[in-house]
Amino acid sequence: MKQTALEMQKKVNSMIANAKQVVASDSYRLHYHLMPPVGLLNDPNGFIYYKGKYHIFYQWNPFQTSHGAKFWGHYISDDLVHWKEAPFALAPDSWFDKDGCYSGSAIVHNDKMYLFYTGNVKDDEGNRESYQCLAVSKDGLTFEKKGPVIQVPTGYTAHFRDPKVFYQDNLWYMVLGAQTEAEQGEVVLFASSDLVSWKFRGTLSGSNQNGLGNFGYMWECPDLLKVNGKDILLVCPQGIQPRGFDFQNIFQSGYFAGKVDLEKAAFEHGDFIELDRGFDFYAPQTTVDEYGRQLLFGWMGNAEEEDVVQPTVQYEWIHALTIPRELEWKDGVLLQHPVRELKKLRENEVGYKDVLLDSQAKTFQHVSGSVSELIIEITEMNAENFSVQLGNSTIILFDQSNQVLTLEREKFNGKELEQRHYSLDKLHSLHVFRDASSLELFVNDGEAVFSARIFDQGHEIVFNVDGRVTLNVHKWDLQRTTTY
């Protein structure tokens, strides 16, 4: 039965109110990451700087800790670090989005915020329809739905979604994730002069194109951006088998760097590089802010079957966004840095300089804590293995002889350990953000990042080396910003 917007709002508010206590009693609730007030969060959506504030929306099922008919939850911030919860922006209450207001993006035009999203519709037999929809806001708080602006073109299945819109050379462009009728994943391009009437321009890249070989049955959540002059296409291919250390998660999230020709809908690019080497990362989205920074949020989760045993489920919530990152293209590598505003959260600084560890396990006084930031600079290493153990079961291990960095954590079932690996020439620095149930590790100034949910609140941090290593160690506690 169809519900009015007001009824929907009441239902969601009472859901939040009823769950508030149980959610807040979870010691795994994060201190400075964005989470759903209740229910399930997945992709970041509509990331935008609008009238002096940052807005981030997210895929949200307020009623369950499983996927379903998604809303767009909404947070607003002055500084990317302190966020206020706003009323949800979109609810699945129209014929064209009744089974979910799926992922999409935001742009600003004539002082208004325009949201583009995918209306997901399923009939009684479970057949899917997809509509690319528009909603407009004058204040960044209430959104008026304008309905579908794009139908699925011929040659594609209804797996056609996740519009990301941007402005270039006097035209609006949209990239979309798509699946051809031959079940090949693609990113397609549309263009518009008025944001309402859109023309299909062609395919930018896809499985079995641009020398890629078989590269997935569906590509989700594309984003096309320029980072220091380089064209970068972020995309999330599904259906790729693991290869060596790569593609270990169920669905992949990465980028192609190259040269795009929007006029011809062509993109010459290199290999697909994973954006994150950890366990829990997917569907990232970027925006440019008033300082011209390319900022990125990711979903600190993925569509893993094991999610159902995450301990937060008992507390009626699941998943979070990553911390915001700033992108930089340097010497052919896409670097990711934690945004500088996060420094505001630092307190209780502890520092140790030029410490020599010689075949020993060592702890440093006050270098501990499960809500903290840790920077380790390795100035000299003459050893085969150097490791940092965080809490009871998480280990960052650098195997110098094989030039492999490993992150090991306990599986969500709490019974076994699992690993992710990254090959690197030399280890210079480890920059770790721990929150009550998460870890984000930035390696060598953002050359690689590992994101992971970690359900272990052990406080100790133990360094271990089987030879000699010289280190600088810095650690801060991080203040709580989440109030819900």
For ligand FRU, the binding residues (CB under 6 A) are 42-43, 59, 70, 102-103, 118, 161-162, 220-221, 282-283
Nearest distance in Å: CB 259, ligand FRU: 26
How far is residue 24's CA from residue 276's CA, in Å, rounded to a whole number? 29
d(CA 105, CA 48): 8
Q: Are 455 and 351 in contact (CB under 8 A)?
A: no
Cβ distance 273 to 252 under 8 Å? no
**DSSP percent split of the chain into helix, strand, coil, nearest 5:** 5, 55, 40
The one-character DSSP state at 73 is E
User: In the 8-state DSSP scheme, what is residue 251?
Assistant: B
Q: Which is nearer to ligand FRU, 236 or 473 (CB)?
A: 236
Strands 53-61 and 417-423: unpaired
How many angstroms separate the CA atoms of 102 and 119, rounded?
6
Sign of CA dihedral 266, 287, 276, 308: negative
Q: What angle do CA 151, 152, 158 make, to 5 degrees?
A: 125
Amino acid found at 350: V
Cα distance between residue 161 and residue 94, in whole Å: 17
Q: Which two tokens stand for residue 434?
A: 């721990």
At residue 243, what is the residue type?
Answer: R
**Strands 266-269 and 333-338, bridge-based pairing:** unpaired
Instruction: Verify whether residue 43 is a known catalytic residue.
Output: yes
Quick one: residue 41, left, alpha or beta (phi over 0 = left, psi -120 to 50 = alpha)? Answer: beta
